[in-house]
Amino acid sequence: MPPIADGYKKNFETLLNAARHGDLCALDVRRKSDGKSVVAVCAINKSKQDEVEFVPLAVMVEGDPYEMYDPPKPGGGYIGRRK
Protein backbone atom coordinates (compact mmCIF):
# COMPACT_ATOMS: atom_id res chain seq x y z
CA MET A 1 0.00 0.00 0.00
CA PRO A 2 1.55 3.35 -1.02
CA PRO A 3 2.09 5.98 1.70
CA ILE A 4 -0.21 8.97 1.92
CA ALA A 5 1.44 11.98 0.28
CA ASP A 6 2.53 14.88 2.50
CA GLY A 7 0.15 17.31 0.77
CA TYR A 8 -2.84 15.13 1.70
CA LYS A 9 -1.60 14.86 5.28
CA LYS A 10 -1.29 18.66 5.49
CA ASN A 11 -4.82 19.14 4.08
CA PHE A 12 -6.16 16.60 6.58
CA GLU A 13 -4.50 18.47 9.47
CA THR A 14 -6.05 21.70 8.16
CA LEU A 15 -9.43 19.94 8.05
CA LEU A 16 -9.08 18.71 11.66
CA ASN A 17 -7.98 22.14 12.88
CA ALA A 18 -10.89 23.85 11.13
CA ALA A 19 -13.32 21.33 12.66
CA ARG A 20 -11.91 21.95 16.16
CA HIS A 21 -12.55 25.68 15.77
CA GLY A 22 -15.96 25.43 14.09
CA ASP A 23 -14.54 26.75 10.83
CA LEU A 24 -15.74 23.97 8.54
CA CYS A 25 -18.64 23.77 6.11
CA ALA A 26 -20.08 21.76 3.24
CA LEU A 27 -20.52 23.97 0.21
CA ASP A 28 -21.91 23.47 -3.29
CA VAL A 29 -19.10 24.37 -5.70
CA ARG A 30 -18.51 24.05 -9.45
CA ARG A 31 -15.60 21.86 -10.53
CA LYS A 32 -13.57 23.79 -13.10
CA SER A 33 -12.45 20.70 -15.05
CA ASP A 34 -15.95 19.72 -16.17
CA GLY A 35 -18.34 22.39 -14.84
CA LYS A 36 -20.16 19.88 -12.62
CA SER A 37 -21.74 21.02 -9.35
CA VAL A 38 -20.29 19.01 -6.41
CA VAL A 39 -20.31 19.29 -2.63
CA ALA A 40 -16.93 20.20 -1.13
CA VAL A 41 -15.81 20.14 2.49
CA CYS A 42 -14.30 23.59 3.04
CA ALA A 43 -12.28 25.34 5.72
CA ILE A 44 -13.42 28.87 6.47
CA ASN A 45 -10.69 31.51 6.60
CA LYS A 46 -11.70 34.71 8.35
CA SER A 47 -9.61 37.82 7.77
CA LYS A 48 -9.10 40.72 10.15
CA GLN A 49 -11.44 42.79 7.97
CA ASP A 50 -14.30 40.30 8.56
CA GLU A 51 -13.91 38.89 5.05
CA VAL A 52 -14.54 35.18 4.60
CA GLU A 53 -12.76 32.81 2.23
CA PHE A 54 -13.83 29.21 1.64
CA VAL A 55 -10.96 26.78 1.02
CA PRO A 56 -12.06 23.45 -0.55
CA LEU A 57 -10.20 20.53 1.05
CA ALA A 58 -12.19 17.49 -0.10
CA VAL A 59 -15.08 16.53 -2.35
CA MET A 60 -17.88 14.41 -0.92
CA VAL A 61 -18.22 10.90 -2.37
CA GLU A 62 -20.85 10.71 -5.10
CA GLY A 63 -22.69 7.43 -4.56
CA ASP A 64 -22.46 4.63 -2.00
CA PRO A 65 -18.95 4.63 -0.54
CA TYR A 66 -19.37 1.05 0.71
CA GLU A 67 -19.81 -0.08 -2.89
CA MET A 68 -17.21 2.26 -4.37
CA TYR A 69 -14.18 1.71 -2.13
CA ASP A 70 -12.36 -1.16 -0.42
CA PRO A 71 -10.72 -0.33 2.94
CA PRO A 72 -7.10 -1.30 3.60
CA LYS A 73 -6.13 -4.47 5.45
CA PRO A 74 -3.93 -3.94 8.53
CA GLY A 75 -1.14 -6.06 7.01
CA GLY A 76 -1.35 -4.53 3.54
CA GLY A 77 -3.61 -4.84 0.55
CA TYR A 78 -7.33 -4.19 0.61
CA ILE A 79 -10.44 -5.84 2.06
CA GLY A 80 -12.90 -6.96 -0.58
CA ARG A 81 -12.43 -7.56 -4.26
CA ARG A 82 -12.63 -5.46 -7.35
CA LYS A 83 -15.64 -5.86 -9.61
46-75: per-residue pLDDT in tens? Answer: 888 889 999 999 999 999 998 999 998 888
- Contact in structure between 22 and 42 (CB atoms under 8 Å): no
Task: Examine the pLDDT at 37 and tell me if it is beyond 70.
Answer: yes
Q: What pLDDT sits at residue 1?
A: 64
Q: Write down how long the chain is.
A: 83
pTM: 0.75
3-class secondary-structure state, position 73: coil
- Residue 39 confidence (pLDDT): 97
User: How far, CA to CA in Å, does 46 sit from each of 18, 30, 53?
Assistant: 11, 22, 6
3-class SS of residue 50: coil
Q: How far apart are CA 83 and CA 74, in angstroms?
A: 22
